Amino acid sequence: MKSLRFAVSYRLLVAVGLALCCLLPSAAAQQAGGKLTVAIGVPAVTLAPGKSIASIVNSITEGIYEGLVERDASGAVLPGLATSWSLDADNVTWTLTLRQGVRFHDGTEFSADDVKATFDRILNPAFELPLSSVLKVVSRVEVVDPYTVRIVTGSPTPDFLNRLAYGVAVIISSDAVEKYGADIDWTPVGTGPYRLESYVPNESVTLVAFPDYWGGAPLLDRVEFRTVREPGTRVALLEAGEVDIIVDVPATDLPGLKAQADKAVLLAPSTRVMHIGVNTQVAPFDNVLVRQALNYAIDQDGLVNGVLQGVGQPARSMISPVVTGFSPVSEYHYDPATARRLLAEAGYPNGFSATLWTPEGRYFQDRATAVAVQSMLGDIGVKVDVRVIDWATYLEILRRPVDASETQLYLLGWESGTGDIGYVLDLIFHTSTWPPAGWNTMFYSNPEVDALIEAARVTMDPDERQALATRIQEQIVSDAPWVLLNVTEETAAMSAKVHGLELLPGDVYSLKTVWLDKD
């Protein structure tokens, strides 16, 4: 029962991390009102559910939209817009009872029709929503009555509730779906405690309290997400009191922030695995020996202890140890001699040149990580040119189809949004999810892996599913469409006047319970 053990470990680690830095006082001690300012490293490019892979977007939309179910910081599935649910004996028919008395931001009342419209939108192939693969297990949604829906999956789906709790499945007003379809980027209509007030492209997103929220008056008047690309600038703004929370804190600044009595630091286990994605369809990366050589060239321990200054751990699979299904399958270790031998066997005894793309400010020490990889690959004769690309452009060029792709190597960090291995398998590693259909931006394809993924997708027995998950990880890691780097820890720092910040599974910061001391 390895998967259950890791799930429990995740819950304990997150609970401990949060308890140390931001204990919630009693409800009576909470103070309502005020504006919270959060400095983020990259701009939100859309607020449309199903479009963006960026966890920071989910941190924004988590206050705007709500799903039928949700997960807390421990990973437990809790009622959301559905108050209860049941699974029939056929293992494919889910019946959900909906919460009554809920209103959308446009004033319309939430009902089963909105659930059906939401799922019809995400599953509409004409919209080509990148995250639709998470819910492609759904065969149909039936409105039983205004407050009861029946969701039928095409086959048994062991992680279905986790999928429902992910940001792609949040419920949108049926009126908004009809009006905007896929393009609801900056006209969100949800049921959450905050609604969109303003958006300044590349600069800020501001939310304002929704007075008719079914859960009671929100604890904040406003929340501004301000784009501050330079990590050092984010730290300076926090220390000057101009922002209240910063994310992706530079490793060099963590000790100093921890030492400040008026600051608090959050370090929490993440589901994110940093890696170098490899375009497996272009030479020389279409040769598995080359891809394996790149993995042997990486000094993971040196990366974590040096560039990342101890924040995180070496990656032993394509998923994090806190994700259900994890197995530490990787046999790669730092061995430049083996890397050079494999390159010679592949026909590249003198190495080759390549381009490595990276964002800056999106991930913890992202550009510094890319530069370290450049140095390590240089030691085996692979001359790498590092190119920094802004985040919005980055996502666009990674999503190009194979015949239009210019990628060779690129730095990316994938988290498991649902906390289960099925998320990354369906979205990233199945042949059917080559862009633009999904996020298999490596253009990786292995029929054996596809078959194993399809089997794991419908296996309800946890032990059998774990065995399949292990085989899948072994094969993918051997095929090496990723150069494994590290499992991240989420880093955030905040003013001591901030209370109640939670890190949810999928590296999403929840602001629903955040409140501020009054000045």
DSSP of 214-230: TT-S-S-SEEEEEE---
Percent of the chain with pLDDT over 70: 94
pLDDT digits 0-9 by tens, 79-132: 999 999 999 999 999 999 999 999 999 999 999 999 999 999 999 999 888 888
The predicted structure's pLDDT at residue 133:
85
Q: Exposed, middle or buried, 83 (CB in 10 Å: 0-12/13-18/19+)?
A: middle
Q: Is residue 10 scored above 70 in pLDDT?
A: no
Look at residue 357 and give its three-state secondary structure. strand
Report DSSP state, residue 14. Answer: H
Summarize pLDDT for 212-260 with one digit per residue, the tens. Answer: 999 999 999 999 999 999 989 999 999 999 999 999 888 889 899 999 9
| SS3 letters across 120-179 | HHHCCHHHCCCCHHHHCCEEEEEEEECCEEEEEECCCCCCHHHHHCCHHHCCCCHHHHHH
Contact predicate 52/41, CB 8 Å: no
Distance in Å from the first CA to the final CA of the chain: 50
Asked if residues 485 and 275 have their Cβ atoms less than 8 Å apart, the reply is: yes
* Whole-number CA gyration radius for the chain: 22
Peptide bond into 79 cis (omega under 30): no
Q: How far apart (Å, rounded) are the C-alpha atoms in residues 65 and 494?
A: 24
CB-side neighbour CA atoms (13 Å) of 499: 17
